[in-house]
A and B are shown apart, each in its own frame.
Chain A
Amino acid sequence: MSKREYERIPVSQQAHVVSKPKDLTAIGGMVSVQINEKKITVPLGTTILEACQLNQIHIPTLCHHPDLCIAGVCRVCVVEVEKMRTLQTACSFPITSPIKINTSTQMVRKARRHIIDLLLSEHYGECYSCFRNGNCELQNLAKEFGVDNYTFGHVKTQRYEVDSSSAAVIRDMNKCVLCKRCVRTCIDLQEVGVLEAVKRGHETHVGTFLDKPLAEVICINCGQCINRCPTSALRANDPSDEIWAAIDNPKKHVVIQTAPSPRAAIGEEFGKEAGKSFTGELNTALRRIGFDRVFDTNFTADLTIMEEGTELLTRLKKAIVEKDESVKLPQFTSCSPGWVKYIEHFYPEFLDYLSSAKSPQQMFGALIKTFYAQEAKIDPADIVTVALMPCAAKKFECNRPEMCDSGFKDVDYGLTTREMAKMIREAGIYLPEMPKSHFDDPFGDASGAGLIFGATGGVMEAALRTAYELVTGREVPFENLVIEPCRGFEGVKQASVKLENCVEQYKFLEGVDLKFVVAHGTANAKIVMEMLKKGELNDVHFVEIMACPGGCLGGGGQPIPTSNVIREKRAQAIYEEEASLPIRKSHENPHVNYVYEKFLTDGPCGKLSHKLLHTHYVKRGKYIS
């Protein structure tokens, strides 16, 4: 078993930091500094901000984000460094000599106030009519520094038109404070490159190519920019009003499916520490809100494993037994709609490598409006399907014209974790105190394999548990079914598992080293695609890619803020929940087998499942017309 790591280097600002020495014990490895009378020792190159954070000294920040490279543009974190003529930004100033720092002088406080006042003067609108009210970094700063009277005026008209062209992301530049976190997210973190600062001086704003609407440029809808926006300049396209209307309409049968990642994160929206799933509580809350049925997306995640796994084994057979050279390997996962749009734009020539299986969300929609409608004897025209997802791109996905295989729009609305929390609050429910309840039949509970889809590597782990067992007749050779090489947040992971003593049907795989690659975040996807281009993946069989850092649990629809620490806690919540489940392999899910027995009778990748559960892709390319 091998594990490879890749380090991604952000494009901009990369060279302009002082790197920390490898050996801290060497002479000059550590520097002593004085911060507000306190003497401390830090590794050379530590920024003032880092030094302060380690010593419980609070420094306000705005453009700084733990996921992103340093910008030093908002100037809110300025501090006084003795012997320097001007104030210095704590976030960017590397400590390389024994300096004296003062973090709260009169000058510092005045400067911070002025800066916040300036930002407020150009920040259109009022806090009480803003959806980020109570969770806005600018508002927090204004409160912290007592900036409450618009010393330099307040803009009364909108400078920019709100761009709501995209199904997923809405941009309102009137709220923008030009911290450029979205720019750094889009260009450096995700390497999609849709947003950048355009023009200059007072005309500077974050724009798209030629300021075109977001729907017309190569945005992949990952929504990572939303997660990092300190204000309400970026938000997801919220369908909750339409959902309320459906709930309020007695004729409509409103069904919701919930994905594991929102369940592992929604507690944060209610003031709880990250790291605990509220699955049972959420089920009760959703019923109280008025959803007629509550289903578990993990069920279709199990189904995805059956479909995608079968597809992989078919491809392998074609390639190995039939020596069919047109078969594309490795097979790439297709459950992340951000990733799907990324490859459609950036690597359209490789679309055949994508599994044709739909994402769990879309599979569920198609099943609800066909199989479930039949079983429950409800006219599918009266069914409204809602999907609670950690994702902004799911909103785009459910609106793709090809996603109507049930004869109706398979999934009517994609809802983010944040929007769900808002609906729950609006219904007067305090989620953490809800009693627990189960999902509804006929889909019932799902396996743990479906649950771990939420973390990067989860699809791979789930697929391996099933594929290995189908091929060899034995469980994967990992203690407690935990396939360690699939876990963790390294950007690109590569490992393999040997197939030995295969069952009769899969004898052609005897002795094959099943190789797989896992990547998360489109910047890492780019690395993988470049490897593919160079032929470096020729011996790899299966690749999992998630568009968002950390996988779905770090999705663009998740609670704000986000950081690596928070993502790790969410992953921990998911893995803990899964370890406690009785069924942990997709193919052992009795409900899945029930669906194949009763409805998709020609089995995985059969005719009906091809109609309902598989899809095709669009060669979009990069050109913006």
Chain B
Amino acid sequence: MIKTETLSKKRSGPVLFSEYKQGEGVKKALELGRENILFELKSSGLKGRGGAGFPTATKWMLTAASNSDKKFIVCNADEGEPGTFKDRVLLLEYPELVFDGMIIAGYTIGAKNGILYLRGEYEYMLKSLEDYLELLRMDNLLGENIFAGKDFTFDITIRLGSGAYVCGEETALIESLEGYRGEPRNRPPYPVNTGFLGHPTVVNNVETLASVPHILIKGGDWFRTHGTDKSTGSKLFSISGDCKKPGVYELPWGTSINELLNLVEAKNTKAVQVGGASGICLPKSQFNRVLGYEDAATGGSIMIFNESRNMLKILKNFMEFFVEESCGQCTPCRIGNIKLLEGVERIEKDDFTFSYINNLKELGRTMQAASKCGLGQSSPNSFISILDNFKDEIFGAKRKGEKNV
């Protein structure tokens, strides 16, 4: 077994941050065999941890069912959502979970190649991850006949991004891997059928893959004991903003925002942005909502804003982000985001009418429905939720008809 893990693990949590020995999950996977792995995964109810929440077992099954001779498993480590940094922690402190997850995925779907797409901003991790892979090769966790598993050959390569948030979208990521602009593809066909270089490809978030070894060892039913009916298991939350203890926390799904705020010792909280810049912004009155796919869904980003913050400025920061990070291929996202930003600027300058603002909100709804990928579909979320939930702060005086504000 590998004894290179030097980082002392101070973290603790029900699933990911619990005890794990390198290779344990892979060993178990080989014992279980493909069908049982898929069974455990299905009964665990694990859903994609990047934010979209697609059932992982289904994704794997679709790819496993394809009889293509070449398949790929891609680990999406293009963590670019503002306020998200859980993958950073996993890759730095728990690489064994991520890589074991990839190996198991490769075994299950019948892929010989795994690719870790690491965002360019995380280049500083590259060396240590590469070294780690080398050790895995030495221990026969990568390479040919892994753990004496007959015909199971698998290796992992790491590819770097180059500063493009949109590459976190799975098809944009694949385009980027293929050497094109990171522009999302038309779907269908989906990557499970036509992915990297046209081959069936599973693209999973770092956290999703890291959950798999634990699920196999302790069973899908055990995983279900955490979380809620619709959101099983636990989740890593990246907590930042106005609080005493920002950082990554592993909590079961179903935790309420209030509980979370207490945990990180946030005071005078005015607003919580759930799901990053592309998520929704909740006011105090909604802090009793729970985190989960059925209520406040998130890829893990929680940003806390206290009473001193200017919501319009926050919104402007988000919109500037999207204007820069939109890939620019589809109309709603390319032009829509700049229109929403323009709207924010006009509110700032007090140069607007309410019908104009309502038109922009309607435009936002069109962007949600008609944009090509998740970026444009979710970028209006903060615009709509901040303007709706913080009306008083933003338009307060105006709405009451006061002059000279």
A–B direct touch, CB within 8 Å, in complex? Answer: yes
**In the complex where A16-B194, A73-B331 touch, is A201 in contact with B186 (Cβ < 8 A)?**
no
Cβ of A72: which chain B residues have Cβ within 8 Å of it? 186, 330, 372
CA A197 to CA B181, docked complex, whole Å: 9
* Total A-B Cβ pairs within 8 A: 120
- Residues of B184-224 whose CB lies within 8 A of A: 185-186, 188-189, 194, 197-198
Interface 0/1 of B313-344, CB less than 8 Å to A? 00000000001111111111011111100100
Residue A75, interface by CB 8 Å: yes
* Any A CB within 8 A of the CB of B66: no
Closest beta carbon of chain B to A49's beta carbon, Å: 12
Do B370 and A119 touch (CB < 8 A)?
no
Please name all residues of chain B whose beta carbon is closer than 8 Å to the beta carbon of A94 when the two chains form the complex. Answer: 188-189
Asked if B359 and A115 make an inter-chain contact with CB atoms under 8 angstroms apart, the answer reads no
B290 at the interface (CB under 8 A from A): no
Contact with B370, one of A70, A86, A122, A204 (Cβ below 8 angstroms): A86
Q: How far is the CB of A10 from chain B (nearest CB, A)?
A: 14
- List 12 A-B residue pairs with CB atoms under 8 Å apart, sorted by A's residue number: A73-B330, A75-B370, A75-B371, A75-B372, A76-B331, A111-B370, A152-B335, A177-B331, A178-B328, A180-B329, A197-B181, A203-B328
B323 and A202 form a contact (CB under 8 A): yes
Q: Report the bound CA distance from A76 to B366 in whole Å.
A: 12
Q: Do B327 and A118 have beta carbons less than 8 Å apart?
A: no
> Does B334 contact A18, Cβ atoms closer than 8 Å?
no
Within the complex, the shortest CB–CB distance from A55 to chain B, in Å, comes to: 21
Tell me which residues across on chain A come within 8 A of B65, comparing CB atoms. none
**Chain A CB within 8 A of B362 CB:** yes
Tell me, rounded to whole Å, the shortest Cβ–Cβ distance linking B184 to chain A: 10
Chain B residue, CB-CB nearest to A92: B186
Residues of A553-577 at the interface with B, using a CB-CB cut-off of 8 Å, are none
Chain B proximity mask over A69-95: 1 for CB below 8 Å, otherwise 0: 011111110100000001101001110
Per the bound structure, the CA–CA distance linking A203 and B326 in Å amounts to 10
Closest CB of chain A to B404's CB: distance in Å? 26
Can you name 15 extra interface pairs (CB under 8 A) apart from A89-B372, A118-B331, A200-B326? A18-B188, A73-B372, A89-B186, A111-B332, A114-B362, A115-B331, A118-B336, A177-B331, A178-B329, A197-B181, A197-B328, A199-B328, A201-B325, A202-B328, A204-B329
A87 touches B369 (CB 8 A): yes
- In the complex where A15-B194, A111-B370 touch, is A93 in contact with B328 (Cβ < 8 A)? no
Question: B366 touching A115 by the CB < 8 A rule?
Answer: yes
Asked whether, in the complex, the Cβ of B377 is within 8 Å of the Cβ of A201, the reply is: no
Chain A residue with the shortest CB-CB distance to B198: A15
- Residues from 46 to 76 in A contacting B, C-beta threshold 8 Å: 70-76
Interchain CB contact under 8 A, A204 and B328? yes
Q: Of all chain A residues, which has the CB nearest B328?
A: A204
Closest CB-CB distance, A266 to chain B, in whole Å?
34
Which residues does chain A contribute within 8 Å of B124, judged by CB atoms? none
Is the C-beta of A212 less than 8 angstroms from some C-beta in chain B? no
Asked if A41 is at the interface (CB within 8 A of a chain B CB), the reply is: no
List, in ascending order, chain B residues with CB within 8 A of A178's CB.
328-329, 331, 334
Q: Known contacts A75-B332, A122-B335, A197-B329; is A93 also within 8 Å of B181 by CB?
A: no
Please indicate the chain A residues that have their CB under 8 angstroms from the CB of B194 in the complex: 15-16
**A16, B186: Cβ atoms closer than 8 Å:** yes
A152 to B366, Cβ gap below 8 A? no
* B55–chain A nearest beta-carbon distance, Å: 15
Q: Are B330 and A74 in contact (CB under 8 A)?
A: yes
Within 8 Å of chain A (Cβ to Cβ): is B301?
no
B44 sits at the interface (CB 8 A) = no
A200–B370 CB distance below 8 A? no
Interface flag for A12 (CB, 8 Å):
yes
A201 in contact with B327 (CB, 8 Å):
yes
Q: How far is the CA of A365 from the CA of B44 in the complex (A)?
A: 80
8 Å CB interface, B331-382 against A: 331-332, 334-339, 342, 359-360, 362-363, 366, 368-372, 377
Q: Which residues of the other chain, B, contact A204 by a CB distance below 8 angstroms? A: 327-329, 334
Within A166-219, the residues touching B (CB, 8 Å) are 177-178, 180, 197, 199-204
Q: In the bound complex, what is the Cα–Cα distance between A201 and B185 (angstroms)?
A: 16
- Name the B residues within 8 Å of A76 (CB-CB): 331
Contacts A17-B189, A119-B335 given: A201-B328 contact, CB under 8 Å? yes
Enumerate chain A residues within 8 angstroms of B338, measured Cβ to Cβ: 202
Minimum CB–CB distance for A304 against chain B, Å: 43
Question: Within the complex, which residue of B324, B330, B339, B363 is in contact with A75, where a contact is CB–CB below 8 Å?
Answer: B330
The number of residues on chain B lying at the interface, defined by a beta carbon within 8 Å of a beta carbon of chain A, is 39
Say whether B189 contacts A200, CB under 8 Å.
no
Is B370 touching A18 in the complex (CB atoms < 8 A)?
no
* B331–A152 CB distance below 8 A: no
Contact yes or no, B331 A200, CB < 8 A: no
Smallest beta-carbon distance A78→chain B, Å:
5
A116 to B45, CA, bound (A): 42
User: A104 to nearest B CB, angstroms?
Assistant: 14
User: Chain B 222-264 against A: per-residue CB contact (8 Å), 1 yes, 0 no?
Assistant: 0000000000000000000000000000000000000000000
A425 at the interface (CB under 8 A from B): no
Q: Are A121 and B323 neighbours in the complex by a CB distance under 8 Å? A: no
Q: For B359, give its contact among A15, A73, A75, A152 (CB under 8 Å).
A: A152
Per-residue interface assignment for chain A, residues 507 to 522, with 1 indicating a CB less than 8 Å from any chain B CB and 0 otherwise = 0000000000000000
Does B164 make an interface contact (CB < 8 A)?
A: yes
* Min CB gap B135→A, angstroms: 36
Q: Select one of A96, A110, A180 contacting B188, CB under 8 A.
A: A96
**A314 on the interface (CB 8 Å rule)?**
no
B112 CB → nearest A CB, Å: 20
Does A153 reach chain B (CB closer than 8 Å)? yes
Tell me which of A16, A74, A118 contacts B185 (CB under 8 A). Answer: A16
Determine whether the beta carbon of B329 is less than 8 Å from that of A111. no
Nearest CB of chain A from residue B162's CB, rounded to whole Å = 12
Among A15, A16, A151, A202, contact of B326 (Cβ-Cβ < 8 Å): A202
Contacts of A75 in B (CB 8 A): 330-332, 370-372
B366 touches A111 (CB 8 A): yes
Q: Is the CB of A200 within 8 A of B181?
A: yes
Please report which residues of chain A, range 102-160, place their CB below 8 angstroms from some CB of chain B when the two chains form the complex.
107, 110-111, 114-115, 118-119, 121-122, 151-153
Q: Could you tell me the distance between the alpha carbons of A625 and B209 in the complex, rounded to whole angstroms?
A: 48
A92 to B373, CA, bound (A): 14
By the criterion CB–CB under 8 Å, are B377 and A114 in contact?
no
Given contacts A16-B189, A86-B369, contact A152 B328 (CB under 8 A): no
**Residue of A89, A92, A96, A118 with most partner-chain B CB within 10 A:** A118
Given contacts A73-B330, A86-B370, A119-B335, contact A110 B362 (CB under 8 A): yes
- Measured in the bound complex, the distance between the Cα atoms of B338 and A201 in whole Å is 9
Measured CB to CB, the nearest residue on chain B to A204 is: B328
Contacts of B180 in A (CB 8 A): 12
Most B CB within 10 A of own CB, among A78, A110, A114: A114
Which residues of chain B come closer than 8 Å to A110, judged between CB atoms? 362, 366
Min CB distance, B379 to chain A, in Å? 11
Given the known inter-chain contacts A87-B370, A201-B325, please indicate yes or no for A152 contacting B337, CB distance below 8 A.
no
A142–chain B nearest beta-carbon distance, Å: 14
Which residues of B in the span 136-173 have a Cβ within 8 Å of any Cβ on A?
Answer: 164, 166
Tell whether, in the assembled complex, residue A86 and residue B377 are in contact, meaning their CB atoms are under 8 Å apart.
yes
Contacts of A202 in B (CB 8 A): 323, 326, 328, 334-335, 337-338
Kindly list chain A residues whose C-beta atoms are within 8 Å of the C-beta of B328. 178, 197, 199-204
How far in angstroms is the closest Cβ of chain B from A513? Answer: 41
- Specify which chain B residues have a CB less than 8 angstroms from the CB of A121 in the assembled complex: 335, 339
* Interface 0/1 of B261-281, CB less than 8 Å to A: 000000000000000000000
A114:B334 contact, CB within 8 angstroms = no
Chain A residues contacting B366 (CB-CB under 8 Å) are 110-111, 114-115
